[in-house]
Amino acid sequence: MRTVFDEHTRESQVLKADRALKSSDAIKLVQAAITPQGAPEFIRSDNGPEFIANALPR
């Protein structure tokens, strides 16, 4: 399960559940959340093996 939410507004940006989510899937979901709202100052992640933070464009 991948969830992305805005900690300031507590608004859910992404909620995706699937049997498996690859890092490329996670990156696409995060990019889709960034597109309408603009990029945040920072992104906090759980740093799990399925999500590689350094793969996101800076």
Task: Average the pLDDT over 3-9 and give the result.
Answer: 81
Q: How confident is the model at residue 47 (pLDDT cuts 50, 70, 90)?
A: low
Whether residue 15 is predicted with pLDDT greater than 80 in this model: the reply is yes
Closest CA to 32 of 4, 7, 1: 4
Domain extents in the chain: 2-55
Whether residue 11 is predicted with pLDDT greater than 80 in this model: the reply is yes
- Asked if 20 and 35 touch (Cβ cutoff 8 Å), the reply is no
Task: Average the pLDDT over 34-43 and give the result.
Answer: 77
Whether residue 53 is predicted with pLDDT greater than 70 in this model: the reply is no
Closest CA to 18 of 30, 1, 4: 1
| Residue 55, both tokens | 């793969």
Beta strands in 6-58 (DSSP E): 12-16
Task: Average the pLDDT over 21-32 and give the result.
Answer: 82
Whether residue 29 is predicted with pLDDT greater than 80 in this model: the reply is yes
Interatomic CA distance for residues 14 and 31, integer angstroms: 10
